[in-house]
Amino acid sequence: MKSLRPNVLAPLAAAMLLSLTLAGCSNDATTSAQFAASATPPSPGLVKLAQRSVSGSQVLVDVLLNGPEPALDLYAFRFAIRISDTSAVRFVPQSSYVQSVLVADTGQTIIFDVDASDPSELNIEVVKQGGGAGNGLTSPAAVVIELTFEVLGSGGSALSFSGIGASQPQAFDRARNPIEAVHFDTASASLAGVRTGGGGY
C-alpha cells in the first residue's frame, strides 16, 4: 500500500512557506517623534523648550532656564504650554517630574502642579515650599521641568509658552514678586510625527 503522508504534508508545507514569506513583507509603518526648537538663540534669563531625548513616538522636552544668572532669587515658576493641534500631539502625564533650577534649602521642598485638564493648554507651577530664600543660577542652563509629549500620527503641532489666565508666564522671587530678568521664549517650538516603513510587498 502506498503511503498518503507526502500528499498530506505537501499542502501544509506550502501554506507555511507562504505565511513566512508574507510575514517578511510587512505593511506596518512606524511613527517617530521629531522635535524642532525655536530659532530664538539662548541667552541668560531666557526660558526655552529644548529636546532631551526621543523614544519612538514620544519626546522628552526640557523647559530650560538659560544662565548664568547668579543674582536671581528664584522661588517659583508659573506658566502654560499650548499645544496648537491636539489631534497631532498630546501631553503624557507622569507620576513624578524632574527639575534642577530650584535648589531646596533646609526646610524647603519643591512641589509640582501640572494641570492637563485642557488638552490644548498645560498649566504648570513649580514652587518652593517652606519659606526661606530663593536661589541663583550659576550654570549655563537648568531644568524648570521635564515633560513628555507624544505624536499621534504624521501631523504636527506648535508648542508655545503662555500665561495662566490673564497673567504672563513668569518666575517669582521669595516675596512672590515677578522676576523681570527671567523671560519666556515668544517663538514656538514644533513637534511632528514622521512615518517610516510600510508600503507592502
Query: Is 55 contained in some domain?
Result: yes
Q: Would you say residue 59 lies in a domain?
A: yes
State the total domains in the chain: 1
Contact 197, 29 (CB under 8 A): yes
Angstrom distance (rounded) from CA 2 to CA 13: 20
Q: Does 17 fall in a domain?
A: no
What pLDDT score was predicted for residue 22?
A: 41
pLDDT at 27: 57
Q: Is residue 94 in some structural domain?
A: yes
160 φ/ψ angles, rounded to the nearest 5 degrees: -140, 155
Q: Report if residue 20 sits inside a domain.
A: no
CATH of the domain at 54: 2.60.40.680
Task: Give the residues across from 60 on adjacent strands.
Answer: 53, 148
Backbone angles phi, psi at 14, to 5 degrees: -65, -40
pLDDT, position 146: 98
Asked if residue 3 is part of any domain, the answer here is no
In a domain, 175, yes or no: yes
Nearest Cα residue to 34 out of 143, 150, 118, 115: 150
pLDDT for the residue 29: 78
Which residue range forms the structural domain that includes residue 44? 31-197
**Residue 117 placed within a domain:** yes
Q: Is the pTM of this model over 0.95?
A: no
Phi-psi region of 27 (alpha: psi -120 to 50; beta: other; left: phi over 0): alpha
* Tens-level pLDDT at each residue, the chain (201 residues): 444 444 544 544 444 443 434 444 445 678 899 999 999 999 999 999 999 999 999 999 999 999 999 999 999 999 999 999 999 999 999 999 999 999 999 999 999 999 999 999 999 999 999 999 999 999 999 999 999 999 998 899 999 999 999 999 999 999 999 999 999 999 999 999 998 876 554
Cell numbers standing for residue 104: 531646596
DSSP structure class, residue 182: -
